[in-house]
Structure formats: structure tokens, C-alpha cells
């Protein structure tokens, strides 16, 4: 019979053993979870139906692409194993890699790719342009995709490597059969993560789990290309509308990564010493001033030209970002740091040469017609653009009626073709991700196809011809020459004005490594120690 | 009593109708177009028009209103334009955080404000009274988000006692649930404590001068029993009124606190819906808040009958 003392000792020992074993067991089973504060809440899960960047980022989590851009902007095969062209350049054949699977376990087939390309191309301007070269697109067998072209073009891979909205993500054929005018209702991809629909709380939380059957490429990770290796078991996105609170949560260890931190609050991250900053994009975003060419005064290209001389990028960037570490002036339309960067034909522009601007305005016969300038007030990254534009326009004698409104109102109003006095508009400023601007076909504001162009509706045959030539160009050198010609034509017929590049860094806790500079925020390759 | 309750419930119908008309018209007359927001940057006018037709936004306003009202009558609050989920589902998912925050705030408020008010009234003119009244003024003056950030700085970032942000559902454990609610509830309760403490003080002061209180003292009742059983009981009617009023305001006023503490409740849902012009969600939430407000008034009126036997319906 055990004494009371011995019973207590035995009980204590058993308790200690049990606790030790359970902590060992829980340690062995512990998942690594990356807790992310994205720049916005995820509402729309269909990255083909919407151009919203948060939906694009969601797309990169669960879908994969046939091609992708590496950090130097070069096109690399991703889901594709090989590409071959017929000698006349009219047949492009692609083979899918072996072993690719959907999240539901089914094999990825060429039929899936064909359906996905069709859906994407029916919505995306670059995809639409690509399809004008395509007589037929079909699956020759379960792994082979065949494009039969009416004219040789280098656009196929370029379009299918498009890094930003709308990205040509691959989906199962049954899902891709959804008309692009409707949203998909199933979210099955073949990407490195799967979405956990049971834990999804719209606008509140999105949970992604590592897809164990993902087959990464053998090449090293390089931008959006190469091996996509999920190094954490779960990624949880929880938006936070208050950046101060997000930073507090980061410093307290409640979150691991904040996707976008405005420069003015960065000292809060740096001073706490718990986190560091990193970039996901070498080129960041570009501010843009958009004209409405349907109504005076911007129906006159010379008036628009006057602004090319009146504006300077530094004023806009300083007013919005403040810290020069987070912005750069760049006269290249197609973004500094990307393959089609060039300053050709930009001499003297964007330097606030008011004398020259006034001269052009006088030549244009500007009669004081007010410029209705829409000013969005609730997106901090855009708020200060319109006031700077107003000041610079007034400096050369223009009459500016700046009207403040929230972004929703601006979005509604910019789609109207009515005269400004009847609820329309003359100009507004916005920002684009560099990935949306990397060539003349991706750059939506350059599209000058009149009524079918984006709001602003520029109408210029020469630009459209040059964009078509770009699509037909067979080599990078040819494309580069066309880009320079486009910039020359743009000086004569401005469709918009690029106001410089900026970026807002991500903040990561010190134990989180591997954030990629892929051009868009992606969460493979990230590990948490 | 039952008849009274039924009568009051029936009376909510015209109230909700008026609120419905108001919010319906207000949304459609406000600048902004949900179809344009849904369609995205590359949408043409034709595509936006197609979405409008899909959502029924191209119909005459009167038709849209009657369709909405008849759906409500059938229990269908509509589908969110953006989340593509039934609004009912969205509300159900978000109601627990808001309700939890509101209930915990009211509990804190009652636990702090009523004793403060009673003590202040009992010690009228003393330094305790002055401190309570001073706190009352400060409580009205400081915005909720300032109090919130102050509490976070001290108790989360420095002491590490409470989380900085977020909400833990009750089903995940009571301890973490309450731990996530303490700071936001405290922040939110300050203004209500200030208000209710002041109200309690005033009501109790009025009652303390009454004959029956003097009689209770003369009969040898302890001061505690005089205060609680006699003074507070008789001062309770206006206090309960104010608590009910505060609760109703709280339901609708948690937006700032939910934003600061990142609590995924109805407040944040409403803000997002407004910014995106998600008409079905905004309309449903406003109707819900109106109904809750009417219901709380009814509950308060019923409470009167328990506090004051002279009140009968």
C-alpha cells in the first residue's frame, strides 16, 4: 500500500510525464501560420471578373499561370513544360508539365487551359488583342495546347505572362465555362495554396492552406516565376482598416506581415525593433493623370500637351509620399525598372516649364473653359494628387473646378460620357501597379480605340496602329523601337500623364523571411522561424 | 400586458416602413453607382448597364422599392452585391461580435456607473462627488478612439495583458472571448459611464430627500439598505430609461470601436457596405438597427412595471 507521500510523488511524476508528452505531441503537430494584414478586405473571389488588386493577390494564392515574369521581366514557362512554333510562325504548341493537379485531386488538362484562356481573353484587353491573332485555340490531347494563328505574333506568351489584373489564371474547365459576365462560384485552382471555404468570413478573414500535391518547378524561385514553394502550412489574411493598429498588432506579435505600410508611419515599425520592411515590387506603382478627351478643353491635344510641360513629377510624389526613399521620378511611360523603360522623346517634359506651357495654351486658343477635376478624398494614397494638379494648372492660367468626392462616387462618375456641366468630368488622377503598365498592350490608358477605350476615351489611329504593330513584332528589339515610336506619338496626342513611381513597403516580423520581389505580393517562399 | 406587447410590436411595422422608405431613397439619391464599383476599372458603359439590369437597378424606383419590401415580407433581405452571399448570412456572421461588445459594455457601464452615481449622491458636495462629476465631464469629452488607443498603449503594448486587436468567438473559449472584449468595452463604456453616473446621481439625490427615505432611516434601516432598497429602487425608472437609450445608441455606435480594435461586427459591415454602395446590406442593417431600437424601448417599458408597481399597461 502506498503512503500518502508516495502517492503524491507518483501523481506529480505522472502529471509531469503526461504534460511533457502532450507538449511534445503538440510541438510535432504544430502548424506554421503566417498572419497577414492585406491592403484591403477580400470581397470578390473571381480574379477574372474584377480588376481589384486584392482579388488578383487572392488569385496568386490558389491559381497558377501558364507563364510568369521573373525579376528581370523576362517571360518564363510556369505550368508549361515547353513551347514550339511552326516554321511559318502560325502554329504555337504548348505542353503542360507532368503531375499538375487541381485542388480537388483531378489532373490539370489542356482542355482546362483552353477554357481558362478563353474566359480570361473575353474580359481582358490584352487577351482580346491576343485573340485577334488566333484562328483557333484547342487541346490536341490532354497535355497539349495548340494556337493556330492568322499572323505571326510574339503576343501569345507575353499576354499569358501578364502579371497584373486581369492575370490569366488557370481554372478547371467546368469553372472556366462560367461566362465572364458572371462570377465563378467554385474556387479550385492548382496553385501552391488552397482556400479554406469553411473558414472564410467575407471581408473579415481568408484562410489558405498549403496544397501538398503542388508540383513546383525545379528552377529556383525568381519573381513570379520558378519554384513556388509554400513554406508555411496556413496563411491567414485579416484586413485592418487602421494602419496604426495593424502596426501595433505587428509589434505585439499578433500578426506577422503587413502588406502595405505608408511611409509616414514606418518609424513606428522601425523604432519598435520587432519588424523590418521589404518591397515586393522593384518598380512599385505609377501615378497617372487621366484626361477626358470628349469635352473641352481636353478635346484639344495642344491643351493636353501644355500640361506635359506644366506638370512635374516631384511635386506630386512629394505631396503624396513625402519621403524620397519611397518614390522616384521616371519619365519612361512604361515604367523604370521594366524591360520597356525608355526616356525617348521626353526631353523638356514634366519639368514645370510654365513659359512653354502657357505658350502652348495660347496656341491652342484656350478660352478659360473650366476643367472639372475629380478629387477622391478617402484613399490616402491618391488624396493629394488633385490639389497639386489644380495648382499647376492654375499656374499656367487654366480655370480649375476641383470637385471632392469619395472613390465610389468618382468611379461612378468617370464612366459617364456626359459633359462636365451635366455630371461628367474632365480629369482625375489615379495609380496603377507597374505590372499593369509594362507594355503598350497592358497599359489600359494607352488604348485609343475611341468608344471602346477606357474612360477618357482617347481616339487615335496612329497609337492603335502602333499597338497593333507591337502585337505583331517578332523580337524584343522590334518591340522596343515601337515603344519609342509610341512615346513620340503620345507627346503629340497625350492620352494621360505619368506622374512618377512610388511604393509602400511591406512590414514583416523579424522571424519572417523570404518575401519575394515579384512585382505583386505573393506568399509562397515565405518562412517563419 | 400581453396585449400591450402585441400592440407595441404591431406599431413597429409603420416605424420600419418609414425607415425603409427613408434609407431606400437616401441610398439611391446619393452619388455613386454600385454597378460601376462591381464592374471594375475596365468596364464599358454597356457592361455597367448590364450589371444594373442584372441587379434590378434600372427599374423605376417605385418598382425597386416594392420588390424590396415584398422580399423583406418574405424574410429575404437580399443578396450582397459584392460578397454574393445572402445578407441574412452576413448579418448572422457579424452579429455576435457587435452583440458581445454591446452587452459587455453595458455590463461594465452598469457595474461602474450606478455605484459611482449612488456614492456621489450620498456624498454630495464631498471630494468623492467632485471626482465623479469631474470624471463625468472628461468622459463626455474624450473621443472613444483616443481612449481606445490609450488603453491599447498601456495594457496591450506595455503590459501585454490584453490583445491589441481582433475578436475571438465565444465558441473558441470564454476566456479568450472576454479577453478580446475588455479593452474595447472599457473604451466604449467611458462615455456611457459618464452619462449614467450623472443620471444616477441626479435621480438618487431627488429620492434621498423623500419622506419614505427619512422614515426608513427612522425605522433603523442601515444606510446600505436605505440606498439600495429604497432610494435606488425608486430612482431606477429614469436610470433604466437612460440605460436603454444608451444600449440602443451603442448598437449603432460601435463603428469607431470596431474599427479601432478590428472587431468584425455589424459596424464594420455597415461601413464597408456604405463605401461600396452595397445597397441590400445597408438597407438590411439599418432596418435591423431600427427594429432593435424599437424592441429595446419595449423592453424598457416592460421593466418599468417590475420597478414601479404603480405602472401598469
> Which residues of chain B are within 8 Å of residue A127 when distances are taken between CB atoms?
none
pLDDT at B308 over 60: yes
User: CB burial class (10 A; 0-12, 13-18, 19+) of residue B302?
Assistant: middle
> Which residues of chain B are within 8 Å of residue A52 when distances are taken between CB atoms?
40
Q: What pLDDT sits at residue B41?
A: 66
Task: Give percent of chain A above pLDDT 90.
Answer: 81
Let me know: does B164 contact B152? Beta carbons within 8 Å. Answer: yes
pLDDT digits (tens, 9 = 90+) for B253-269: 688 889 889 999 998 89
| Closest approach of A16 to chain B, Cα-based (Å) | 25
Confirm or reject contact between A511 and chain B (CB < 8 A).
Answer: no
> In chain A, positions 140-199, which contact chain B (CB-CB < 8 Å)?
165-166, 181, 183, 185
Confirm or reject contact between B221 and chain A (CB < 8 A).
Answer: no
Confirm or reject contact between A409 and chain B (CB < 8 A).
Answer: yes
ipTM of this predicted structure? 0.84
Distance of CA A14 to the CA centre of its chain: 57
Cα distance between residue A317 and residue A336, in whole Å: 15
| Closest approach of B37 to chain A, Cα-based (Å) | 7
> Which residues of chain A are within 8 Å of residue B46 when distances are taken between CB atoms?
none
> In chain B, positions 49-68, which contact chain A (CB-CB < 8 Å)?
50
Contact A238 B166 (CB under 8 A): yes
Contact A254 B262 (CB under 8 A): no
**At B175, is the pLDDT very low, low, confident or very high (cuts 50, 70, 90)?**
very high
Contact A125 B42 (CB under 8 A): yes
Q: What pLDDT sits at residue B233?
A: 76
pLDDT at A16 over 50: no
Candidates B84, B93, B164; nearest CB to A201: B93
User: CB burial class (10 A; 0-12, 13-18, 19+) of residue B58?
Assistant: middle
Q: What is the DSSP letter of A64?
A: -
Q: What pLDDT sits at residue A452?
A: 85
pLDDT at B167 over 50: yes
**At A64, is the pLDDT very low, low, confident or very high (cuts 50, 70, 90)?**
very high
Cα distance between residue B110 and residue B243, in whole Å: 8
Confirm or reject contact between B176 and chain A (CB < 8 A).
Answer: no
Cα distance between residue B114 and residue A526, in whole Å: 53
pLDDT digits (tens, 9 = 90+) for A457-481: 999 999 999 999 999 998 889 999 9
> Which residues of chain B are within 8 Å of residue A185 when distances are taken between CB atoms?
84
Helix (H, G, I), strand (E, B) or coil at B212: helix
Contact A241 B149 (CB under 8 A): no
> Which residues of chain A are within 8 Å of residue B276 when distances are taken between CB atoms?
43, 408
**At A427, is the pLDDT very low, low, confident or very high (cuts 50, 70, 90)?**
very high
Let me know: does B254 contact B102? Beta carbons within 8 Å. Answer: yes
- Residue B166 gets the label, from left (phi > 0), alpha (psi -120 to 50) or beta, of left
> Which residues of chain A are within 8 Å of residue B93 when distances are taken between CB atoms?
201-202, 204
Confirm or reject contact between A44 and chain B (CB < 8 A).
Answer: yes
Mean pLDDT in chain A?
A: 92
- Average pLDDT of span A299-313: 98
Of A305, A291, A288, A259, nearest to A436 (Cα)? A288
pLDDT digits (tens, 9 = 90+) for A179-207: 987 889 999 999 999 999 999 988 899 99
Cell of B166: 481582433
- Average pLDDT of span A200-223: 95
Q: Which of B27, B29, B32 is best to mutate for the A interface (most A CBs within 10 A)?
A: B32
Helix (H, G, I), strand (E, B) or coil at A424: coil
Cα distance between residue A491 and residue A343, in whole Å: 12
Number of H helices and E strands in chain A, helices first, is: 15, 21
Q: What pLDDT sits at residue B228?
A: 76
Q: What pLDDT sits at residue A22?
A: 43
| Closest approach of B94 to chain A, Cα-based (Å) | 9
**At A383, is the pLDDT very low, low, confident or very high (cuts 50, 70, 90)?**
very high
Total CB pairs under 8 A between chain A and B: 113
**At A25, is the pLDDT very low, low, confident or very high (cuts 50, 70, 90)?**
very low
Distance of CA A259 to the CA centre of its chain: 13
**At B213, is the pLDDT very low, low, confident or very high (cuts 50, 70, 90)?**
confident
pLDDT at A24 over 50: no
Out of A60-74, A211-225, B5-19, B297-311, least confident range: B297-311
Contact B36 A417 (CB under 8 A): no
pLDDT digits (tens, 9 = 90+) for B138-162: 888 898 889 999 999 999 999 999 9
**SS3 assignment for A398-426:** CCEEEEEECHHHHHHHHCCCCCHHHCCCC
pLDDT digits (tens, 9 = 90+) for A157-175: 999 999 998 999 999 999 9
- Average pLDDT of span A374-391: 95
Cα distance between residue A300 and residue A288, in whole Å: 19
> Which residues of chain B are within 8 Å of residue A454 when distances are taken between CB atoms?
41-42
Query: Phi and psi of A81, rounded to 5°?
Result: -90, -45
Task: Give percent of chain A above pLDDT 70.
Answer: 95
Let me know: does A229 contact B121? Beta carbons within 8 Å. Answer: no
Candidates A240, A378, A409; nearest CB to B31: A409
Confirm or reject contact between A128 and chain B (CB < 8 A).
Answer: no
User: CB burial class (10 A; 0-12, 13-18, 19+) of residue A321?
Assistant: buried
Confirm or reject contact between B32 and chain A (CB < 8 A).
Answer: yes
Out of A16-20, A323-327, A456-460, B98-102, least confident range: A16-20
> In chain A, positions 347-376, which contact chain B (CB-CB < 8 Å)?
none
Q: What pLDDT sits at residue A21?
A: 45
Candidates A203, A242, A454; nearest CB to B259: A242
Helix (H, G, I), strand (E, B) or coil at A138: strand
Let me know: does A402 contact A376? Beta carbons within 8 Å. Answer: no
Cα distance between residue B263 and residue B189, in whole Å: 16
Rounded (10°) CA dihedral A467, A472, A475, A476:
20
> Which residues of chain B are within 8 Å of residue A251 when distances are taken between CB atoms?
157
Contact A251 B264 (CB under 8 A): no
Amino acid at each position: 500500500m502506498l503512503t500518502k507521500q508516495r502517492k503524491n510523488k507518483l501523481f506529480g511524476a505522472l502529471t509531469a510525464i503526461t504534460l511533457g508528452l502532450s507538449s511534445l505531441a503538440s510541438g510535432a503537430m504544430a502548424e506554421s501560420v503566417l498572419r497577414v494584414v492585406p491592403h484591403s478586405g477580400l470581397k470578390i473571389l473571381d480574379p477574372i471578373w474584377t480588376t481589384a488588386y486584392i482579388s488578383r493577390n487572392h488569385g496568386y494564392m490558389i491559381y497558377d499561370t501558364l507563364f510568369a515574369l521573373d525579376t528581370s521581366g523576362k517571360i518564363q514557362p510556369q505550368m508549361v513544360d515547353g513551347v514550339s512554333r511552326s516554321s511559318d510562325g502560325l502554329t504555337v504548341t504548348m505542353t503542360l508539365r507532368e503531375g499538375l493537379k487541381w485542388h480537388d485531386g483531378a489532373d490539370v488538362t489542356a482542355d482546362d487551359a483552353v477554357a481558362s484562356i478563353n474566359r480570361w481573353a473575353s474580359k481582358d484587353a490584352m487577351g482580346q488583342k491576343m485573340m485577334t491573332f488566333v484562328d483557333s485555340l484547342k487541346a490536341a490531347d490532354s497535355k497539349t495546347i495548340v494556337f493556330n494563328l492568322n499572323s505571326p505574333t510574339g503576343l501569345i506568351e507575353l499576354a499569358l505572362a501578364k502579371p497584373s489584373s486581369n492575370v490569366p489564371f488557370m481554372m478547371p474547365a467546368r469553372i472556366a465555362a462560367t461566362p465572364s459576365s458572371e462570377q465563378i462560384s467554385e474556387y479550385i485552382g492548382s496553385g501552391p495554396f488552397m482556400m479554406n471555404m469553411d473558414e472564410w468570413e467575407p471581408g473579415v478573414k481568408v484562410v489558405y492552406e498549403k496544397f501538398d500535391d503542388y508540383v513546383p518547378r525545379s528552377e529556383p524561385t525568381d519573381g513570379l516565376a520558378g519554384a513556388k514553394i509554400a513554406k508555411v502550412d496556413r496563411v491567414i489574411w485579416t484586413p485592418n482598416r487602421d494602419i496604426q493598429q495593424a502596426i501595433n498588432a505587428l509589434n505585439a506579435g499578433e500578426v506577422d506581415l503587413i502588406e502595405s505600410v505608408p511611409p509616414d508611419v514606418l518609424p513606428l515599425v522601425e523604432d519598435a525593433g520587432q519588424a523590418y520592411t521589404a518591397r515586393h515590387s522593384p518598380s512599385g506603382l505609377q501615378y497617372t493623370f487621366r484626361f477626358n478627351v470628349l469635352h473641352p478643353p481636353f478635346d484639344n491635344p495642344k491643351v493636353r500637351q501644355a500640361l506635359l510641360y506644366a506638370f512635374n513629377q516631384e511635386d506630386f510624389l512629394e505631396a503624396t509620399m513625402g519621403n524620397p526613399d519611397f518614390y522616384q521620378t521616371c519619365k519612361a511611360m512604361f515604367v523604370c525598372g521594366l524591360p520597356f523603360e525608355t526616356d525617348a522623346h521626353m526631353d523638356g517634359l514634366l519639368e514645370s516649364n510654365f513659359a512653354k506651357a502657357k505658350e502652348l495654351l495660347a496656341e491652342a486658343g484656350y478660352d478659360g473653359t473650366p476643367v472639372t477635376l475629380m478629387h477622391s478624398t478617402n484613399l490616402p494614397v491618391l488624396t493629394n494628387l488633385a490639389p497639386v494638379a489644380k495648382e499647376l494648372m492654375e499656374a499656367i492660367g487654366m480655370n480649375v473646378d476641383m470637385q471632392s468626392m469619395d472613390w465610389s462616387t468618382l468611379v461612378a462618375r468617370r464612366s459617364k460620357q456626359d459633359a462636365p456641366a451635366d455630371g461628367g468630368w474632365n480629369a482625375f488622377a489615379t495609380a496603377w501597379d507597374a505590372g499593369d503598365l509594362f507594355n503598350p498592350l497592358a497599359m489600359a490608358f494607352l488604348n485609343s480605340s475611341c468608344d471602346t477605350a477606357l474612360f477618357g476615351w482617347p481616339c487615335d489611329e496612329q497609337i492603335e496602329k502602333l499597338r497593333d504593330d507591337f502585337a505583331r513584332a517578332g523580337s524584343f528589339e522590334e518591340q522596343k523601337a515601337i515603344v519609342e515610336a509610341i512615346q513620340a506619338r503620345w507627346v503629340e496626342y497625350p492620352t494621360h500623364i505619368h506622374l512618377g513611381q512610388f511604393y509602400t513597403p511591406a512590414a514583416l516580423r523579424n522571424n519572417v523571411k523570404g518575401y519575394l520581389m515579384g512585382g505583386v505580393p505573393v506568399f509562397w517562399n515565405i518562412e517563419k522561424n | 400586458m400581453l396585449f400591450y406587447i402585441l400592440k407595441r410590436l404591431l406599431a413597429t411595422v409603420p416605424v420600419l416602413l418609414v425607415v425603409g422608405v427613408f434609407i431606400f431613397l437616401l441610398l439611391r439619391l446619393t452619388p455613386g453607382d454600385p454597378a460601376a464599383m462591381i464592374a471594375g476599372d475596365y468596364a464599358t458603359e454597356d457592361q455597367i448597364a448590364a450589371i444594373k439590369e442584372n441587379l434590378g437597378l434600372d427599374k423605376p424606383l417605385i418598382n425597386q422599392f416594392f420588390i424590396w419590401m415584398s422580399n423583406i415580407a418574405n424574410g429575404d433581405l437580399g443578396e450582397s452585391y459584392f460578397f454574393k452571399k445572402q445578407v441574412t448570412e452576413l448579418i448572422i456572421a457579424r452579429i455576435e461580435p457587435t452583440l458581445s461588445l454591446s452587452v459587455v459594455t453595458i455590463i461594465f457601464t452598469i457595474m461602474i456607473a450606478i455605484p459611482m452615481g449612488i456614492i456621489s449622491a450620498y456624498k454630495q458636495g464631498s471630494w468623492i462627488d467632485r471626482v465623479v462629476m469631474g470624471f463625468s465631464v472628461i468622459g463626455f469629452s474624450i473621443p472613444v478612439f483616443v481612449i481606445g488607443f490609450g488603453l491599447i498603449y498601456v495594457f496591450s503594448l506595455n503590459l501585454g495583458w490584453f490583445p491589441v486587436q481582433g475578436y475571438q468567438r465565444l465558441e473558441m473559449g470564454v476566456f479568450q472571448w472576454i479577453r478580446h472584449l475588455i479593452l474595447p468595452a472599457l473604451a466604449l463604456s467611458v462615455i456611457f459611464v459618464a452619462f449614467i453616473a450623472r443620471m444616477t446621481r441626479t435621480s438618487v439625490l431627488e429620492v434621498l430627500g423623500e419622506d419614505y427615505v427619512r422614515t426608513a432611516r427612522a425605522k433603523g434601516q442601515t444606510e446600505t439598505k436605505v440606498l439600495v432598497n429604497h432610494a435606488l429602487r425608486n430612482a431606477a425608472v429614469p436610470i433604466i430609461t437612460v440605460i436603454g437609450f444608451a444600449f440602443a445608441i451603442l448598437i449603432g455606435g460601435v463603428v469607431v470601436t470596431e474599427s479601432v480594435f478590428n472587431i468584425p461586427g455589424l459596424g464594420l459591415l455597415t461601413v464597408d457596405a456604405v463605401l461600396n454602395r452595397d445597397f441590400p446590406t445597408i438597407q438590411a442593417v439599418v432596418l435591423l438597427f431600427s427594429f432593435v431600437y424599437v424592441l429595446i424601448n419595449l423592453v424598457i417599458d416592460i421593466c418599468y412595471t417590475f420597478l414601479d408597481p404603480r405602472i401598469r399597461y
